[in-house]
Structure 1
Amino acid sequence: MYRLFRIIQRDTINLLTNSMWIFFSLMFPLLLVAILGFLTEGLYGDYFTSYDYYGVTFMLFSAMYAATFSANSFMEEKIKQANLRIVYSPIRNWFIPFSKVVATFIFTTIFYTIAAVICHLLFHIRFGSENLLQIWLLFIGMNLLFSCIGVLMCCIFKSEGVANQILSILTAALAMLSGFIFPIANLGETFVKISRWLPTAKVAQAVFEMIYDQNTASFFPVFSLLLIGSILILGLSIILFRGEEYV
């Protein structure tokens, strides 16, 4: 386990020392909330503001981009070359995909949490004072799920470029169908029915219920769904990963 810890430590440091990824993880949610919150300010009320809506949905949308971080940290060319010695060293194959998921999860959790705090301070977004811990757990649960999905895409397609193209389409489609960009009711009843089956939409609904209704009934089933999904996807990634293909 010491070797696994050292690999995770190295992968986490690689992420933490990449200034562009730090900038993106902080500025992406901040700019989205600021721009969309300002443009749609007149469409919402005083109690439930546009900043409240997009503060929640775009933080969840940002968590979905953890998949891109994990894919890049897994198969970016310079990182692949640095990990050649790990592939050929006497360690278990599953250390590599597992480490990428854990490192990405740590990195994105830190900086997305900082971004959420800044959004709260700048735009007075309510994240639910009474149920803040549970809301944060749902957020990081979504973060973990998509950290696993990014690694899985790399294991399936064996290419960072292809994986990121698929992930871009997937995250955009899920964001739209989950009501992250605009209320899904605007698209009609058919899309509303589709949205009800999406785990991303269930997370957003559970968060809004906890903030505005103090209703925590959905927390455990939704959090369990995210956790079980993460475990299954990570397990599949470990099964599909082959060190020789990584090279």
Structure 2
Amino acid sequence: MNFFKLVKFDFMNILRNPFLVISNTLLPLILIGIMGFVTKSSFGTELTTSYDYYGVKMVIFSVAVIAMTASNAFMEEKVIKGNLRIVYVPVSKTEIYLSKVVSSYILATFSYGLLLPIGQFLLQINYGGKNIFYVMLVLNFFSLFGCCLGTMFCCIFKNEERANAIMQIPLALFIFFGGLFFQIHRFGKVINDISIFSPIKWVVDCTFRIIYDNDFQLFLPVLLFLLLASVVCIVICQIIFRPEEYV
């Protein structure tokens, strides 16, 4: 079984799971609609509407939880039998875990590559106008990091439920300190200082600067950081993953 067949196998397993498909397609739009409607009165007559504001933040939130998709693609109960067969075919251990990263990444790239243009051109959500490509690129690198992170947790804990349960802790911290649902500066200087360690905080600041200020100062540093973090996750997978522990 070559690597491309392995990726196809994993990708089809993801598509057979309605929850994973919906969470990466319809769920972001639902979250944008709910948060935009609930907070509409807080934005008054400003040029930035609640739908613009949460249109960015809820997409970032959805990309953040792509780590759960990667985890499900790796060790979800319904695909364990198929995964067991992979262990006994002549394929390297790198291809086994890397196919989970790639298949999840393909889903994220396709989903959010369509979602942002639909949001901007059909729903009139501001994703940067002519700079939408740069916003998409930041989210693309962020989704790669999420896929690598989810796969790494599966390699470490060797069980989907355990991996997801523990992974929710850093994800929740990243989301909180990233200010996706609350303005983090309201919690004081200490919390605001801690927030710089959240990759989501960097992604949020970078995308908003691109969209509203045409400011690309954080663009390359954020991309490089996310790429480096992804590489670190892959290196950890390579070191600790053992095919015999796959199921």
- So what's the TM-score if we normalise by structure 2? 0.94
Match of 1:13 in 2: 12
Residue type matched to 2:230 in 1? S
Inter-partner Cα distance in structure 1 for 2:121 and 2:13:
29
Match of 2:233 in 1: 233
Inter-partner Cα distance in structure 1 for 2:116 and 2:159:
32
Q: Is the 8 A contact 1:51 1:123 kept in 2?
A: no
Q: Is the 8 A contact 2:67 2:150 kept in 1?
A: yes
Q: Is the 8 A contact 1:22 1:111 kept in 2?
A: no
Match of 1:163 in 2: 163
Q: Is the 8 A contact 2:112 2:136 kept in 1?
A: no
Aligned residues with identical type, % of pairs: 36
| Residue 50 of structure 1 pairs with residue 50 of structure 2 | yes
Match of 1:222 in 2: 222
Shift of 1:122: 5.8
Shift of 1:121: 4.9
| Residue 142 of structure 1 pairs with residue 135 of structure 2 | no
Match of 1:76 in 2: 76
**Aligned counterparts, 1:116-131, within 5 A:** 116-121=116-121, 123-131=123-131
Match of 1:104 in 2: 104
> CA RMSD for the aligned pairs?
1.6
Match of 2:26 in 1: 27
- The residue matched to 2:180 in structure 1 has which SS? coil
Q: Is the 8 A contact 1:98 1:238 kept in 2?
A: no
Inter-partner Cα distance in structure 2 for 1:141 and 1:17:
25
Greater length-normalized contact order (CA 8 Å, ≥ 6 residues apart): 1
- The residue matched to 1:132 in structure 2 has which SS? helix
Match of 1:151 in 2: 151
Unaligned runs of 5+ in 2: none
Q: How many residues align?
A: 246
Q: Is the 8 A contact 1:93 1:243 kept in 2?
A: yes
- So what's the TM-score if we normalise by structure 1? 0.94
